[in-house]
A and B are shown apart, each in its own frame.
Chain A
Amino acid sequence: MDALKLETRSQRYLFRKATERFAQIGMVLCTAVTVFFLLTILGYVIYHGASAIDWEFLTALPLPAGETGGGIANALVGSVLVVAVATLMAIPIGLGAAIFINEFPSARLGRTVRFLAEVLTGVPSIVVGLFAYALVVRSMGSFSGFSGSVAYAFIMIPIILITSHEAFRLVPSSLREASLALGVPKWRTILGVVLPVSSRALLTGAVLAVSRALGEAAPMLFTAFGNPFWNLNLKKPIATVPLLIYTYATGPYDDWHKKAWAASFVLMMVVLFTSVLTRAFLRGKSHE
């Protein structure tokens, strides 16, 4: 006890205590700054966007430039369509590659693929757009929703690959062994044990990739291109929400600026609801 008392009075103890306090305050400040900017962005978009939203905005087509009114229905549907097709392409490829590098480990190949995927997530999305332009638009001869999907898929694949790979790494090898030891072939072990056990993390990863794609405008510039009319044909140019935000925000009309805010708000809500719904779904599943 004496030693402890002495220790509490010593200068070194006081110094340590001050350092601790200082570090704590520092971390609280960092968190506060992060949350502050996040809330500011949210608040700003809600402030400018929510007021401009009405039924017409969500269901009508855009009016000719300069006229007030109209909506973004075609861009909403276009976004959903383009991202959905991109998801259909990206999930099998990203998941397949993740299964390959995790379950059939050649250490060097796995590391290389993983490294490339990490590099790919860092490639600027406009470069991805240019690549899709060179690959699809040039060979098909026109801007198209499909080329937009390809561009989005390129953005989604590395995200899905990395999140799925992490998910598979968390599946204990004892479960794989349990299945193999029952005389279950490897591919059935992967389908019947590894995928179900990691399904929650896989879904979270896929949702993350979808959210990321939903918000990207740059890859759409040279691919989906935008379209003021209704179009459900992926071979033709198609409107998407982020592209519309870009066009309206950089345009000269006040009404366009208002619509850009409103569209941002809608986009944000869509992404938010996707995350919230996924979480709710996963929570429901874990209570089974």
Chain B
Amino acid sequence: MNNGGIHMSDEKSYTADSLQGATDFPAPNNQPLIAPEEIRLQVEALSAYYGNTLAVNKISLSIKTNRVTAIIGPSGCGKSTFIRCLNRMHEVTPGARVEGKVLLDDQDLYGPGIDPVDVRRRVGMVFQKPNVFPSMSIHDNVAAGYKLNGVRDRRLIAEKVEKSLKNAALWEEVKDDLQKPGTSLSGGQQQRLCIARALAVDPEVLLMDEPCSALDPIATAKIEELIHELKDTVTIMIVTHNMQQAARASDYTAFFYVGELIEFGETGILFTTPRVRQTEDYITGRFG
């Protein structure tokens, strides 16, 4: 594989689409194709390891505020590992470690003295399979970010629960059953409950790790609709296997392959005129 070549083209696509984010690369002279927008997350030369195995290799990316950025790529290409680095969940796995920088509004999440617990309050996460707390009611699941942290203010919690359930488009379905166990809901509802739970603590960024992979098409459509509505208030990153989903739901798309960022750009452009051969092969279904 011609790694050098990939990096070159990677650089080009990067600078063309998101000029202001490309701190790692020499400033180009060509004009940005889109108007500059505010950057919420700036990832610089991020590498992630499991023991001695390199899973993500020096990836740099900038994520725009209140936009949806999709990460696509074949299984095992480091997509999930990458987004788990963005809220410091990667290091939860024994033996896992991270190199590089992740700047959230100019603050390095891996900087000295930064508590991963604080990072995770600002950068929320929704997992592949709905992981509703089985010991808690629907209400308590949404309130978990508060209750588990010892917050007792009932009015605040009730307010947050209702607002988050409404934001997650679940309120109408569960408002009369808030005290029922969270696990009594259907799979799609459980995943929206998990989204509500993540939204309840008002994160600035929401990471979604293949949130629809365990859901049927109807539930998937609901989640996608939800992503569309949420992006007014929160920056979303979504890992997906489903290229149609990336094309439908995202503003920007990054294509990963064996731990490398192959191409990153506006979704519309990446899917219609990819710059790199591998991206084209992948999105046209020739491999992966």
Contacts and interface: CB of A to CB of B under 8 A. Distances in A.
Interface of A: 105, 107, 172, 174-185, 188-189, 192-193, 196-197, 199, 288
Contacts of A174: 127, 129, 131
Nearest to A106: B94
A182 B135 contact: no
Contacts of B124: 181-182
A107 B94 CA distance: 10
Most buried by A among B89, B133, B150: B133
B133 A182 contact: no
B145 interface: yes
A185 B115 CA distance: 10
8 contacts: A176-B92, A177-B92, A178-B131, A178-B197, A180-B120, A181-B125, A189-B148, A193-B135
Nearest to B136: A196
B269 interface: no
A184 B131 contact: no
Interface string B121-155: 11011010101011110000000110111100000
B70 to A, nearest CB: 20
A192 B148 CA distance: 6
A180 B89 contact: yes
Contacts of A175: 131, 133-134
> For chain A, what secondary structure do more than half of its interface residues adopt (helix, strand, loop), or is it mixed?
helix
Contact of B148 (A193, A197, A199): A193
B118 interface: yes
Contacts, number: 75
Nearest to B126: A181
B144 A183 contact: no
B92 A182 contact: no
Contacts of A107: 94
Contact of B194 (A178, A184, A185, A193): A178
B87 interface: yes
Contact residues on B (Cβ < 8 Å of other chain), bracket: 20 to 34
A181 B135 contact: no
A201 to B, nearest CB: 12
B22 interface: no
A193 B150 CA distance: 13
Contacts of B89: 177, 180-181
Contacts of B125: 181
B121 A177 contact: no
A107 B51 CA distance: 14
Contact of B198 (A105, A182, A199): A182
Contact of A181 (B87, B118, B134): B87
A177 B198 CA distance: 12
Contacts of B87: 181
B261 interface: no
A281 to B, nearest CB: 16
Contacts of B120: 180-183
A178 to B, nearest CB: 4
Given A185-B117, A188-B149, A189-B148, A105 B94 contact: yes
Interface string B201-242: 100000000000000000000000000000000000000000
Contacts of B149: 183-185, 188
A176 B89 CA distance: 11
Nearest to B181: A288
A174 B87 CA distance: 15
B131 A172 contact: yes
A183 B181 CA distance: 22
B110 to A, nearest CB: 16
Contacts of B129: 174
B224 to A, nearest CB: 21
Given A172-B131, A174-B129, A193-B135, A182 B201 contact: yes
B211 to A, nearest CB: 13
Contact of A177 (B118, B131, B136): B131
| Nearest 5 A/B pairs, CB to CB | A183-B121, A196-B135, A181-B125, A182-B145, A192-B148
Contacts of A177: 89, 92, 127, 131
Contacts of B181: 288
Contacts of A188: 148-150
B77 to A, nearest CB: 21
B92 A180 contact: yes
B198 to A, nearest CB: 7
A85 B45 CA distance: 58
Nearest to B144: A182
A130 B117 CA distance: 48
A175 B134 CA distance: 9
Most buried by A among B87, B117, B145, B148: B148
A176 B197 CA distance: 14
Contact of A182 (B94, B118, B136, B148): B148
Given A182-B121, A183-B149, A184-B144, 4 more contacts: A107-B94, A172-B131, A177-B92, A197-B133
